[in-house]
Amino acid sequence: MIRTLSTLAFVACIPVFATGCEKSPEAARTEAIQAQQSADETAAKAAREAAEKSAKAQNEANGKINEANKAATDDIQKAQAKASEKIADSMDVVAKKRIEFRKDAEAKLNDLTKKTNELSSKIASTTKVSKADAQAALKRVQAKGDEVRTDLAKVDTATVGEFEGAKALVEQKLTELKQAVEDLDKRT
């Protein structure tokens, strides 16, 4: 019987012990709300920190991009300045060559014109060939002289790329004029 009473007393106390460990629904609710608020605050704090880190990283990246763009712009400007300088130097060299060539070609042309004028006065007294033949040769010389003058004028307006071709054409025409003058000299 004592045993039965002890067992009974023990069984009767279990609900009391069980209810004593439980919190009231109000306390559990308050505790859950506080836990949720704490979790929300922690999440918000983590989101703020992440946003700050992201903004800082973006600002650093933008700074580096700006520095790289500035350096690239500086390099481009320096390269353009060098290219402009080289173009100006090249144009100066071509201008000098053009002036020197023109001076040389005009000197040759003047010498050949002087020689032609001397030969022209000899035509009247020539006995080597007919006067008609000598007159025809003189006209060919004069026509060649006019061609040289026309082509020499083109040298002044030739672009940098066209200069060498214009120069070669004048040199060729001067050679032809010289040969024509020599031919005229043989006829007079």
Tens of pLDDT along the chain (188 residues) come to: 455 444 444 444 444 444 445 679 998 899 999 999 999 999 999 999 999 999 999 999 999 999 999 999 999 999 998 988 888 887 788 888 899 999 999 999 999 999 999 988 888 777 777 788 888 888 999 999 999 999 999 998 888 889 899 999 999 999 999 999 998 888 77
Alpha-helix runs per DSSP H in the chain: 2-21, 25-123, 131-157, 160-187
Two tokens, residue 56: 């800082």
4's tokens: 């039965």
Q: How far apart are CA 58 and CA 67, in angstroms?
A: 14
Domain range summary for the chain, segments of one domain joined by +? 46-187
Distance separating alpha carbons of residues 113 and 117, to the nearest angstrom: 6
Q: Check if the beta carbon of residue 135 is closer than 8 Å to that of residue 116.
A: no
- What is residue 22's predicted lDDT score, i.e. its pLDDT? 66
* Confidence at residue 150, expressed as pLDDT on a 0 to 100 scale: 94
What residues contact residue 186 under an 8 Å CB cut-off, 6+ apart?
A: 128
Question: Residue 17: its pLDDT value, please?
Answer: 45
The confidence score (pLDDT) of residue 147 equals 94
Alpha carbons within 13 angstroms on the beta-carbon side of residue 36 total: 6
Cβ distance 172 to 132 under 8 Å? no
**Per-residue pLDDT, 19:** 47
DSSP classification of residue 124: T
Q: Measuring CA to CA, which residue among 172, 152, 164 is closest to residue 97?
A: 164
Q: What pLDDT was estimated at residue 84?
A: 87
Contact 116, 63 (CB under 8 A): no
Angle at 123 between CA 121 and CA 125, to 5 degrees: 95
Tell me the pTM. 0.55
Instruction: Output the pLDDT for position 2.
Output: 52
